[in-house]
């Protein structure tokens, strides 16, 4: 129970108690928590205290209020460190999440000018195109579309379902991503993308355009990632040094 005479404000005590229940699995993702009136009665505090506690949980991204329905525990967001070079598989394993992949397309296509410029080849040249749906604990969270120079055509014969493309490149060609550049924007989900990621058409997605380079500075691939921003956050560290 809350301590009325404690130095810690009542709303903070209540927030911490609710947060502990969420993190310990008493309340699971999707569960509806008590109403504000029920909490006020249960803990012997005012509605203002309850609202401040719930507001703090919302700021932490632990709960979400749905108009006319109540307050629900959210699913934890996956966080990707954009400063660190790591594959989707490595990121998931680091967070204790099971990575997965489903190949949507893998074929040779002709590069348009934008892709050709990023790969340093002539427009109209053949490139390897691979599109995959990425999963975290079985949940679809990202669509990736990657374009490779022809020297990586062996990828078309590889089973890239539930496997790391980084590892495949390293094992089969001794190729390792040494650096990459990224541009992050927002876009809206098309009907096809919405169906793949279980979101609504027109919902905002994180759009990440990236070009990766090997240890010699040669482009390894150009790609885009369409990410469900409700399930993912991107972390970037900056320093003035």
Confidence of residue 60 (pLDDT cuts 50, 70, 90): confident
Mean pLDDT across the stretch 62-87? 82
Per the CB < 8 A criterion, the answer to whether 121 and 127 are in contact is yes
Query: Per CATH, is 10-73 categorized as 1.10.10.10?
Result: yes
Confidence of residue 45 (pLDDT cuts 50, 70, 90): very high
Mean pLDDT across the stretch 168-186? 92
Mean pLDDT across the stretch 111-125? 96
Confidence of residue 240 (pLDDT cuts 50, 70, 90): low
Judge whether residue 58 has pLDDT over 60: yes
pLDDT for position 239: 57
Judge whether residue 82 has pLDDT over 80: no
**What superfamily would CATH give domain 78-235?**
Chorismate lyase-like (3.40.1410.10)
pLDDT for position 241: 55
Q: What is the pLDDT of residues 181-236, one digit of tens each?
A: 999 999 999 999 999 999 999 999 999 999 999 999 999 999 999 999 888 877 76
Query: What is the pTM (predicted TM-score) of this model?
Result: 0.72
| Residue 167 parent element (H or E) | helix 165-173
* Average pLDDT, rounded, for the chain: 90
* Number of Cβ atoms within 10 Å of the Cβ of 132: 23
State the pairing for strand pair 232-235/78-81.
Answer: parallel
Range from 11-20, 74-83, 186-195 carrying the lowest mean pLDDT: 74-83
Domain ranges for the chain: 10-73, 78-235
pLDDT for position 153: 96
Confidence of residue 1 (pLDDT cuts 50, 70, 90): low
| Residue 193 parent element (H or E) | helix 191-197
CA geometry: angle 62, 63, 64, nearest 5 deg: 140
| Residue 109 parent element (H or E) | strand 99-110
Range from 5-9, 65-69, 147-151, 193-197 carrying the lowest mean pLDDT: 5-9
Mean pLDDT across the stretch 83-95? 80
Closest by CA position to 74, among listed 126, 28, 35? 28
Q: What is the pLDDT of residues 122-165, one digit of tens each?
A: 999 999 999 999 998 899 999 999 999 999 999 999 999 988 88
Report how far apart, in Å, the C-alpha atoms of 72 and of each of 13, 14, 22, 222 are. Answer: 20, 16, 11, 39
CA distance linking residue 228 with residue 204, whole number of Å: 8
Report the percent of the chain where pLDDT is more than 70: 97
């Amino acid at each position: 129970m809350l301590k009325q005479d404690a130095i810690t404000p009542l709303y903070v005590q209540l927030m911490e108690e609710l947060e502990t229940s969420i993190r310990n699995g008493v309340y699971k993702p999707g569960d509806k928590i008590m109403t504000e009136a029920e909490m006020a009665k249960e803990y012997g505090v005012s509605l203002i205290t309850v609202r401040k506690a719930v507001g703090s949980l919302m700021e932490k991204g632990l709960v979400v209020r749905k108009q006319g329905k109540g307050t629900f525990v959210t699913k934890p967001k996956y966080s990707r460190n954009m400063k660190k070079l790591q594959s989707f598989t490595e990121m998931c394993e680091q967070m204790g999440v099971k990575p997965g992949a489903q190949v949507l397309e893998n074929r040779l296509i002709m590069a348009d000018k934008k892709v050709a410029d990023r790969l340093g080849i002539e427009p109209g040249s053949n490139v390897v195109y691979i599109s995959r749906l990425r999963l975290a604990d079985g949940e679809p969270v990202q669509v990736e579309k990657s374009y490779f120079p022809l020297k990586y055509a062996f990828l078309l014969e590889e089973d890239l379902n539930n496997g790391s493309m980084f590892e495949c490149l390293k094992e089969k060609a001794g190729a390792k991503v040494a650096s990459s550049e990224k541009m992050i924007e927002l876009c809206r989900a098309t009907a096809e993308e919405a169906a793949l990621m279980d979101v609504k058409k027109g919902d905002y997605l994180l759009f990440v355009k990236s070009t990766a380079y090997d240890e010699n500075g040669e482009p390894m691939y150009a790609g885009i990632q369409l990410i469900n921003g409700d399930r993912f956050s991107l972390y970037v560290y900056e320093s003035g040094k």
